[in-house]
Structure 1
Amino acid sequence: MPLHGKFRKTKGVKRPRRLPGRRAARYRPTVRDRDTARSGPAPLPGDLDRLTSLILSNMRNVVVFCLTPDLRIAWASPSLEFYSGQSCEKAVGRFCHDVLHERETSCPGCPAREAIRTGHTRESEMRTPDGRTWRLTSNPVTDAGGRVSAVVHVATDVSQLALAKEELRQSEERLRLLVDNMPVLVHAHDENLNYIYWNKEAERVTGWSAEQIVGNPDAARMLHPDARVREDVIRAAHRSGNYLNMEAEIACADGSTRIISWSNVSATTPILGWSIWEVGVDVTEKRRAEALRERVERIMRHDVRRPLCQAVEMATLLRDMGGLSPEQMELVRDLEQSGRAGLALIDATLKLERLETGCGLSEALRVDLRNLTRRGMERARTWEAANGVRLLLDESCPDVAPLEVLGEPVLLGSMFENILLNAVQASPKGAPVQVEIGQDNGQVRIEVRNKGVIPLAIRPRFFEKYATWGKAGGTGLGAYAARLVARAHGGEITAESRHGGTSVVIRLPLAP
């Protein structure tokens, strides 16, 4: 067939008659390929019967039958012998259920029988005695009078697909069994945020059964009666990507409340049919213990401050009265210094408490971090001897370069000493603890390196409150307080630990 034929307007096309009150439609003549009209359609290459036989012989997973109205085989594709072991010649004239399914009567729900009865295409799925699964499609063929004269019956072997589906179903069942018995809360939503799964631990912690939650349009209101909390939870569920440790209060069936830390793992671990699913940990007792601990610490700070003030005043009076021997004077001086250091620590703790509540800094003085670091290193010499490590200070910029920041000197000193003490305590015996201070892109950069390695389980929580490991009497407040101070001063602290050591970097903006 030529691709570029000669075209002409078709003759005999009349212009549409103009109706009263209407404009005549524009004349658009049709076109056709004159060469095609003259020559007719191009014939198929080769012999049609041979081509059909070639196609059918390569359809190894499909068997095509032509059935008579009484379900006898009038014709079958060559693939019949591959699956049934019977040639097409032997199959012709026999019932299809006898040849393919080894049955004496037609199969229940036979689509060919239904297609003959209704005159419409019918489909079904069936397993043969050899264990294979077939998808059956029956298309009726009608004569000039509209009666069904034959049925084209197509049987497709979908055994591998069925096997894969069964394996997937079994895997999902095992996963559901695992998730249902996990010692953490698990729930799942569909795309409309309706609850579609609620595991046993969720039932135990909240008192709400799966029957009460799953499919209940009021489940979100039952679990989160507070509209603000409910909106936060819904907003987080709509948020793209995963989120970790989002805490929310849940109302339990007995009227109490629990604090659950939820993590959305839908993207990293998708489950078929679950649009969103979350894993939750009950942190109620932990948060209550933290609140109690903070109240006790607040009371202790208040109660300890008064006797410390009295001790400092008495030491000052003794020093001013005179008449003491040099040894006694030194003891009084040590008592006064220790008391003042204790008061400074209490004041710093109170300031940290203000930072936690978002009150900000009470003053902003120009603080030279170079001198602050040197003083901190000198005070840490006692740690050096006690822990058997070596403290090394590396100043990467000359003394003339200003390294001043705006902030509170006591808090900044406490921040540096907390990080330095952590490094000293975590360092192996005899290993160096290196401190490097310099300037980088308008920031003061202090890096503390040691040869100790933070355990993998602690690394994500290194700066969290009360996170500690391997230290007798450790409170888990040092790194937390240090980051709190750094952020209050517009800076940041990061930690990186790998095989061979740990590096903690403090960055604070230079004073203008």
Structure 2
Amino acid sequence: MKRPVEERFDLVTALAADLFKTPLALVSLTEVERISSLSDPKPSSEDPPQVWTFSAAALRMGPDALMIVTDATADPRFAADPLVTGGANIRFYAGAVLTTRDGRTLGTLCVLDTRARRRPAPAKLERLKMLAKIVVDELELARAHRLAGERHRLLELTESVSGVGYWRIDVATGAVSWSDMVYGIHGVRREDFVPDRENSLALYHPEDQARVVDCVRRAIAARGAFEFQLRIHRPDGETRDVVSKGLCELDEQGEVVAVFGVFQDITEQARALDAARRSERRYRLLADNMGDVITRIRLDGGSNYISPAIERILGYQPEEMTGRLAQAFVHEADHPLVLATFDQLARGLDQKTLQHRAVHKDGRTVWVETSFRLVRDGQGSPFEIVAVIRDATERKLLEDAMIAARDEAREQAQRAAMAERMAGVGHWRFEAETRTVTWSEQMYQIYGLDPALPLDFSALMSMSHPEDQAAARQRLAAVLATGEPMEEAVSRIVRADGQVRHITGASAVEKNADGRVMAVVGTMRDITEQRQARIALSQSEARYRLLAENASDLIMHSDLAGRVTYISPSVLPTTGFAPEDIVGSDIFSWIDPADAARVRATVAAQFKSHGAAPATAVEFRARHKDGRVLWLEGRPTLAFDLQTGAITGITDVVRDISARRALEAELRAARAEAETAAAVKSEFLANMSHELRTPLTAVLGFSRLAEEQPELSDTTRGYLRRTSNAGQALLSTINDILDFSKLEAGQVEIEARPMSPAQMAAETLDLFAAQAAGKGLALTVSDLEALPRTVRADPDRVRQILLNLIGNAVKFTTTGGVRLDVAFDPLGERLTFTVTDTGPGVPDDRVDCLFRRFSQVDASSTRKHGGTGLGLAICKGLADAMGGDIGVRGAAGEGACFWFALPAPVVEAVAPVASEQDEILLPAGCRILVADDNRTNRELVRAMLTPFDVELSEAVDGLGAVAAASRAPFDLILMDLRMPGLDGVGAARRIRTENGPNAAIPILAFSADVDQIEGSGLFDGVVGKPLAGASLLTAITRAIA
């Protein structure tokens, strides 16, 4: 019986014989010769002649060749051939080489005659070539179908062996397709269940349904892959754990057209592959007539003549088309192609054949193949074009069907490869007759071989483990002998790199119509890691038990119901209970009820993340057997079944932290006590500052005013100067104590802003010029030109450190001098100040204590030079607060070199700030309210402002200040902060908010505690205590300006 493709050959050869009016027409293939004789209505019983000699000669001419032999007896190639000299008596031969699109030659289509003939017309030869193309299309389509069928059988075999099922969702229609294995995994039957979205989701665990939908949605949005694990409630009541992996299927534009993937039942760890099954569509189209249209076309595209056959192809009568431009009947999209061909022919191209679309009279599109040939006039110039038009619609459909079949085969191959990679399963094929083997890529991976190497059956069998080779050969022989598939079996192989691997596999057979085994097809999977994991698991369990039995911490496990199933022996010394007292009890029965909710929340977080979240420590109380309370710390984690991945319970490592909790309680109490003491200390220092600065304000202020009286004697003026100096010394001591207290409390704020290092060095050194000159000391400074113009640092704190270091150098140096060096490191952006003196120096054993509080090089220096011993400690604190360093170099008798360095990035220079020595311009009749509970301070302010035309009012407390401010307007209010009853901050707030006549006038804070006003937004400035006349007048001038 002939196969369908051979029957199609019969139709083609019949058309060829009829076309050329020959008794014979044959299709001769390079692999197996297929011959049909259709011209004789009563074919003889003899087989048609074997024309391979002629076909071989035609094939040697190359792809798409035509070979014409008009008289074989006159052709030296065939004159002595038996086909010519023998009974076949072949004289005429015309053959077209069967050529694929990629240039491969498959054979020939030929016509033969027993009498010599003239060379056929070119039109007939072109038709013969077209018939040859139809034969090639049939062969290619048959090959594509065979490959697709083989892939399909391999996918079915992979699915049955590995237990992996395939599914696909069409994004446009929402249609869902399942393989039989997926139905089996879900426990439903194809004939009873429709796997649409609703029905499928209904089978999934309620907690997994939303996750599945979201996972697929996000994969489609990202055009990527996904993987998830879920639980299935089958109709028979059984719950199965499955894993699904999938990919997005994209069209040529990169848009998602479908989502496809695999399902694997991991409850029993059956690894399988369910072939994605898609119904294959077969398109077979053959041309059953060769009706051609002949047309004469002018070089401008107009038609001179069209044969009547045009009606059969495009539905037009010839007269309807004559005279019209040819492109009027060409599909608009193909106009450029046809017009370009006309242009080439008009420029001298002899002929060209192209395939394009034409428009039928009824509007539909018709595919045609047009062969254009240039006709020249007597002078050889292009004259007109003759075109032969053939209906190529059916051929085009046939080509589309072939492409679709190829794409289907390619897609199935890709799915098979994806399934192999996902499941780690390779497939192989053994041809029984030739004993040749073909492998998939995954098989090369399993055996560790290079895919480029040729496969030899004997060599492959030799890669079986020596102890397993005999059994492997016996299994294969049994399959070939019985035709029964081979059940899954485990064996060993020795890879090319020497590794011994454990594999498992199964096979099926392919038989011919007689039942004889033609091939064996099978799958194989490497289970080495799985086997090693089982061994490692048993070893790990043994080690774990040994560790648990000897650990000091409690190791325990509870099931999903919360019952303790295991607890280590260390529970006895920790809680007084023996393990058997705890096992079987509820895990929360021995946890303090007040802490149970916190422990439950920690465990719930583990379940919510499915064990992905890191273990979190949770502290709770429990009762010892003797009744005392224990503090314990646990880190509960989920326990999983290593085979199925299912959660089996909770594992916890519990530690006794009772001693640590007791120590923490002691530390908290100590910290609270220290914080209370610090608060008391801060309050004490603040009060001490106020109480000391208040009388100092009077002492210093009235001393300065008295010194300015011209009628004083020199003796009295000297007494007053000594009084003022003593007050300044006392003020310096108070400032040192307060600064150091703030440093210890971490309350010093660093305010970095642009500053000039050169100006800072020069101005600070100038302050000591008179004192140094009085002692005969030389004050020098390094070259300041190399310094950057402006850096970012806190100028107040830098000046404070410089004043201390230079002041100490001048104070302790009796002869010689003091030098200030300033350097800048542009790479590290650090500014370094160095103060070097020729004084007594610093002994090596006293260097370490210099920067400690209340510490000096020699106690006698305190008696001689004074000081609190806090200056250098404050300098170190300020340097640390600015991120810098401070230190000293030198030795006893050699002078000292103190330095400090700090980060100082270069910044753009800014406009200089207003000078501190502002011109004093108080408007005549300026009204000022002074609010201070200390009468001496009020009198001092009045005395300082007496030289100016100022109208001064007084208030003795905060309430008095509010009352005075509500009655009459003032130009400025000077407000003391510490007053009985309503303090200065409260009084200022009421003045600002009660909408009186002074709600918007400037208010200056009058206090030594500047920090108290920061951030309040109530004051326009501050006048510090002790009060200096210049500072007071400057502050007032700025405020009312």
Instruction: Assess same fold via TM > 0.5.
Output: no
User: Aligning the two structures, in what range does the TM-score lie when normalised by the shorter sequence?
Assistant: 0.3 to 0.5
**Please, what TM-score do these two structures have when normalized by structure 1?**
0.38
Structure number with higher relative contact order (C-alpha < 8 Å, ≥ 6 residues apart): 1
**Please, what TM-score do these two structures have when normalized by structure 2?**
0.21
| Structure exhibiting the larger radius of gyration computed from Cα positions | 2
